[in-house]
A and B are shown apart, each in its own frame.
Chain A
């Protein structure tokens, strides 16, 4: 099979951006992130926290952005809607939403996209919803802002949305404050708020990390059914590989600010190409494992100061680093998949070791 390799560079016709997406040229993606660099100001230093991050989401697709803490997945998601904190800024790259680069929009134009075309829900750590406003008023606010309904119509729609997300007694919930609801109910309310204007893309940043596993199942099934009903695409940020398997059509694995592997979920789980992906899958304890199974623990830890690391960032911990000479580039081991590694280790199906 054909595999092309190019040193990481941007904006050329065969740039890693195009390869990293792993999608056929025919479908125009609804979201197309190309070579995204995000930097943060820390004191006097500027630290580059993401490097050439590229991936895309097709209409109606669920794409998971997966990685461990500090890999840059959350800030990538925040940067799409321009929600980075004061110290963060995008220093390179493009974020194309249906062809328009969101990074070129000013605040007002971006506001027209937020909540309307692209909606975002967050990990609910108690205060993701404003504690002094009722659920109803927070819902009505976004409905009236983007759809221009009058109060009565907006409230009716709000009740409908709360009902759709599975909340019991939606009319009563309208009058409640966030602290009067449980975590699962608050998340449903946030989903209702996000869906109010029928966005084409929903970005979900670890929406169930703080929830019980049985509630998580409910929420995930809800998201899937909403996607099936409305054709909305979902970009799901998570650290849980199991969720990836359950939800994602395609996966983007991130490590130390870079995308290390992307591809179709089924293929990726069956035959992971990048050593990090492989190691991660072997480190997850499963409920049906044999008693004598030994979890693989990746030696070392995620480098804290990876922002100016050159070459392969996973090499210090990679079991194959003597083979590859610590250089990494982006290539496609098969159509629809891309890996940031060296060919000897990850290229081709035959060189998969264990």
Chain B
């Protein structure tokens, strides 16, 4: 019986700094892609990470999957530390956490038929004998809402939405406890996006699988996540229950994101909102709040603020804004 108190995934103080050859022959600049990120995901829960380009959310996904080594911090899967494990020790654990990517076209091997794509992980990890594979493949296709007959086709014969279903089926083939989804619906049309989001929710209800859902579309992340973290330039600036976070945001950046997200409602058109100045600059972290260059509420205290998360009033709700209360009052 699984121990309900041990979170499926726990990330503590995760950091990743990339050294990039930026100038000249030998100098390199440090790119702090992820800085001090911590969160946990419990069984059957969806944790969403939302943020704009360059915020580090994709890097977090890669760190959790073990595709990159962290420069600091740790990743725990069901209590076991998995970051830094050599591939040979990690491999037996891989069936337990799987990943779905944004571009379904390039995630699937165009030269293999669907049935081979879906059967391969099962056969490799010994989850199914070669003879049982076709039956299992049919089962998986049914689970993701694809008709059985398509198993013999090639990926290019499918639409984007269908391909994404195949990717989800592949992820499910090993009965993982956790699926990491990196922008799975960003490249899909609205109607298809709705189908995939509903599918993911249904699968979670049926199978109890947890999700780490990474996206930049606030509506989609809100729909599927129980709890959400907002990232900006490598750091989590706010985290909390998805209800609370979007109705009572405690960080100006979250507020700005909400204001910027277009709403299909005429009444929302002329609402008062924050329009951020400029763009996320490449300036290095200097000990103050990374957001203060664009923040409309920036004050003197912000230059000395760290990026540590502080309670924002409600249980489970944290923010890194030093002036959280004031920010909330303005919203």
Contacts and interface: CB of A to CB of B under 8 A. Distances in A.
Q: Determine whether A and B are in direct contact in the complex, meaning some CB atoms lie less than 8 angstroms apart.
A: yes
A297 interface: yes
Interface in B208-267: 216-220, 222-223, 242-243, 246-247, 256-266
Given A239-B190, A243-B262, 18 more contacts: A212-B216, A214-B257, A215-B52, A239-B189, A246-B262, A270-B266, A281-B264, A283-B194, A285-B217, A285-B220, A285-B222, A285-B223, A286-B263, A291-B242, A293-B223, A295-B198, A297-B198, A301-B162
A283 B193 CA distance: 8
B159 interface: yes
A183 B27 CA distance: 27
Interface in B259-315: 259-266, 268-269, 273, 275-276, 278-279
B222 A266 contact: no
Contacts of B268: 245-246
Contacts of A269: 264-266
A185 B260 CA distance: 18
A306 B279 CA distance: 42
B195 interface: yes
Contacts of A296: 194
Contacts of A69: 189
A335 interface: no
B161 interface: yes
Contacts of A216: 260, 262
Contacts of B279: 182, 184-185, 215
A170 to B, nearest CB: 14
Interface string B179-195: 00000000001111111
B197 interface: yes
A286 B219 contact: yes
A284 interface: yes
A301 B159 contact: yes
Contacts of A27: none
Closest CB pairs A-B (n = 10): A242-B262, A285-B219, A212-B52, A283-B194, A68-B189, A217-B260, A285-B223, A297-B195, A295-B194, A241-B264
A218 to B, nearest CB: 6
B331 interface: no
Nearest to A286: B219
A74 B257 CA distance: 28
B260 to A, nearest CB: 4
Chain B CB within 10 A, most for which of A214, A283, A293, A297: A214
Contacts of A270: 266
A227 B220 CA distance: 31
Chain B CB within 10 A, most for which of A168, A243, A283, A296: A283
A197 interface: no
Contact of A213 (B223, B260, B278): B260
29 contacts: A68-B189, A68-B190, A69-B189, A212-B53, A214-B276, A217-B260, A217-B276, A239-B189, A241-B264, A242-B261, A242-B264, A245-B266, A246-B262, A269-B264, A279-B191, A281-B264, A283-B193, A284-B190, A285-B194, A285-B197, A285-B220, A286-B264, A287-B218, A287-B258, A287-B261, A289-B222, A295-B223, A297-B194, A302-B189
A244 B276 CA distance: 21
A281 B219 CA distance: 13
A167 to B, nearest CB: 10
